[in-house]
Amino acid sequence: MDEIRQEFLDIVAQVRTHLEYQRALGVRSLETGTATAARPAEIPEAPRPEAAQTETAAQVPVAAGLAAVRDELGTCSRCKLAKGRKTIVFGEGNPEAVLVFVGEGPGYEEDQQGRPFVGAAGQLLTDIIVKGMQLKREDVYICNIVKCRPPNNRNPEPDEVDACIGFVKKQIAAIRPAVIVTLGNVPTQSLLGTKQGITRLRGTWQEYNGIPVMPTFHPSYLLRSPGEKGKAWEDIKLVMKKLGMPVSEKK
């Protein structure tokens, strides 16, 4: 009996992740195969992680929630990174995304343009999303642990992460994605509250506030170590499976 129940729960989980994926692509109705179901049926609102719901101050629309987080950030000078930045790089993408990528911090190009992951590493992330996952960048949401560029692209320091991480947590609470991908050591360790390194954690499911988290290598590391791209693709395939997406072997 337990086996049947588990099988049923697995099927429900697979259907749910598939519907969440379809919803991320903008599908709002489904046709079924029966005569009466030639009519489109409404896709039920995908359940969002409960813990993330409780973190949202009020049941406000997602975009409004993100806008409120941006308003709260303001012209932030909560840490020393404010001095050297040109632009605050808040994040961009689908405010109702089922998939959120969290990076470390803006680099030179991101600081110039005010957009996350637009430099060389950003191009690789875009390739992973577009060529690998067969999605559009606009389907997902992309942000960083710190919103201002660390000088000389150094890692953000602990006091800077402490000052800024509340905002990425609020972004996640507003979006309530089905899956988070953390890119590299800094976002993985700071979001999960662990000291374990990315080499050990990548490819293993972790959890943040009830949301499955897949740590993988940062694209800038993959540019320096292209031999590791295969491992990153394995991680992304796990994410696609979790979201009920068709998986190809293409890298």
**Out of 46, 62, 82, 247, the residue judged to bind ligand SF4 by CB under 6 A:** 82
- Following DSSP, what letter does each residue of 175-201 receive, concatenated? H--SEEEEESHHHHHHHHT----HHHH
Parallel, antiparallel or unpaired: strands 211-216 and 92-93: unpaired
Q: What span, in angstroms and rounded, lies between the C-alpha atoms of 160 and 186?
A: 11
Find tokens 């997602």 and name the residue: 62
Q: What span, in angstroms and rounded, lies between the C-alpha atoms of 85 and 105?
A: 11
For position 78 contacting ligand SF4 by CB under 6 A, the verdict is yes
> Which part of the chain contacts ligand SF4 (CB under 6 A), choosing from 29-37, 71-79, 92-100, 107-115?
71-79
* Shortest CB 163 distance to ligand SF4, Å: 4
For position 88 contacting ligand SF4 by CB under 6 A, the verdict is yes
Amino acid type, 202: R
Query: For ligand SF4, what does the binding mask look like between residues 115 and 154, x meaning CB under 6 A?
Result: -------------------------------xxx------
Query: For ligand SF4, what does the binding mask look like between residues 160 and 189, x meaning CB under 6 A?
Result: x--xx-------------------------
Parallel, antiparallel or unpaired: strands 179-183 and 99-103: parallel
Binding site for ligand SF4 (CB under 6 A): 73, 76-79, 81-82, 88, 146-148, 160, 163-164
